[in-house]
Amino acid sequence: MVTMSRNNFLVVLGTLILAFFLNGAVKLQFYTDVYAWYPDGEVKKISPGDGIYFQPCIHPEGTHVVYYGNSIGLITFDALRFEKGSNTQQTASTVEPPRTVDMSFSYAIDKPAYPEGKGPVVLIDEAHNNFHTAAGTYLPFAGLLRQDGYVVERAKEKISLELLKSGTVYVIADAQPPFNMGDPPTFSGEEIRILNSWVKNGGSLFVITDHMPDPGAIKGLARSFGIEVSNGYVMQGPPPGRLGPMLFQKKDGSLADHELTEGGGPYKEVRCVATFAGSAFRCEKTFQPILILGEDFRSWMPEEYNEFPPGTPSIDVSGWYQGGVMPYGNGRIAFFAEAAMFTAQVFGNGRVKAGMNHPLGRDNARLLLNIIHWLSEDVP
């Protein structure tokens, strides 16, 4: 594990106390640079101050940690390790490239569903090695919900009935497998049992996963609700797939006719949804698909992250889903197999956009609000 000096610890502690008095929201301008932190304590600034880096991660070579902040170190890095033994396995945090939140992203809500801070409580999970968090790259997700009047809280503890009772909607955003093979699964059997029972008795669950290896983290959880997820990369055509995002549209049937896309009542019309790779899943007949994969879509399952040599296994996932909803007992579930669609991210010094900020993804924000309205049920 990486360690800090006593002085650095005191600085970090002071920042955390300040964050507490700011209701958990550290001012974003505090974090405008990206640094590399090496095991011997050497720190190198590796970015200009033109963005906000939200995903502390281990460099793919395993030689150093990449993080946001300043030269004193991370605010939180309890899951990061340098050692790469034979039992280490890949997760998104160890292999994904750096990205920043697009702070220019905005979405106009003409009439919020609730007065500010008076809506239902939405809990966003941070206890399961989540790649996306409410204070990280899902800040635009959380901000959009707050703009609509919802109360968004960060769920930092493992699943319990007491935790679930404190909110109306529980969001799991891109939970990852454990860092080391042989470690306990991301979700324990008891957590899955509690969550399943809570939904059956009227709770609302929003599960969002992404491409391999992350579907492996929620495989057992998904199966408990009758959902089968392919732990691979979804592409149209052979790797590297089509350029740009995958588009789901009404005109070709890939965007389903559904109350969450047709508009009316608390829902706004959705005409086109953009996703950015991800995985695929299928489910029992009670599931109501929204994003349907068309012809020529396959799920590719390489041995190494984003490497597709000849002979890489794949399966046909035409007709499988990348998003949808279903009732479950007295509760409701939304399940989506691509996580970037609900972010607003920039790569390459702002040249590349992914998520609700993409020119072809402007309806993604509408869909997100429709999903949350459906899950919270009692939108006026």
Question: pLDDT tens, 102-116?
Answer: 888 999 999 999 999
Residues linked to residue 164 through DSSP beta bridges, in sequence order: none
User: Alpha-carbon distance 120 to 258, whole Å?
Assistant: 24
CATH code that applies to domain 121-376: 3.40.50.880
Query: Tokens representing 259?
Result: 């109350």
User: Alpha-carbon distance 177 to 316, whole Å?
Assistant: 25
pLDDT value at position 183? 84
Residues linked to residue 53 through DSSP beta bridges, in sequence order: 100
User: Alpha-carbon distance 308 to 271, whole Å?
Assistant: 33
Q: If DSSP codes are grouped into helix, strand and coil, which group holds residue 166?
A: coil
pLDDT value at position 284? 80
Q: How many residues are recorded in the chain?
A: 380
Whether residue 207 contacts residue 172, with contact meaning beta carbons closer than 8 Å, is answered with yes
Query: Tokens representing 161?
Result: 């009935």
Q: Please, how many CA atoms are within 13 Å of residue 223, restricted to the half-sphere of its CB? A: 9
- Find tokens 């991370």 and name the residue: 74
Query: Domain segments of the chain: what residues?
Result: 6-84, 121-376
Whether residue 15 contacts residue 75, with contact meaning beta carbons closer than 8 Å, is answered with yes
Strand ranges for 102-203 from DSSP E? 121-125, 151-155, 169-173
User: Alpha-carbon distance 365 to 380, whole Å?
Assistant: 19
pLDDT value at position 75? 32
- Residue 344 main-chain phi, psi, to 5 deg: -145, 90
For strands 280-283 and 227-230, give the pairing: antiparallel
User: Alpha-carbon distance 45 to 2, whole Å?
Assistant: 18
**Cis peptide leading into 120, omega within 30 of 0?**
no
Count of Cβ atoms closer than 10 Å to residue 118 Cβ: 11
Q: Which residues of the chain have pLDDT under 70?
A: 1-99, 242-243, 378-380
- Residue 244 main-chain phi, psi, to 5 deg: 80, 180
Single-letter amino acid, residue 115:
P
pLDDT value at position 321? 98
CB proximity list for 225: less than 8 A, separation 6 or greater: 196, 199, 283, 328, 333, 335
Helix ranges (DSSP H) in the chain: 6-21, 92-95, 139-147, 161-165, 189-200, 219-224, 259-262, 363-376
Strand ranges for 174-266 from DSSP E? 204-208, 227-230, 233-236, 246-249
Single-letter amino acid, residue 31:
Y
User: Alpha-carbon distance 277 to 207, whole Å?
Assistant: 17
Q: Can you say how many angstroms the Cα of residue 212 is from the centroid of all Cα atoms in its chain?
A: 13
- Residue 15 main-chain phi, psi, to 5 deg: -65, -40
pLDDT value at position 103? 86
Query: Tokens representing 212?
Result: 């391999």
pLDDT value at position 18? 39
**Alpha-carbon torsion, ordered 223, 228, 229, 230, to 10 deg:** 130
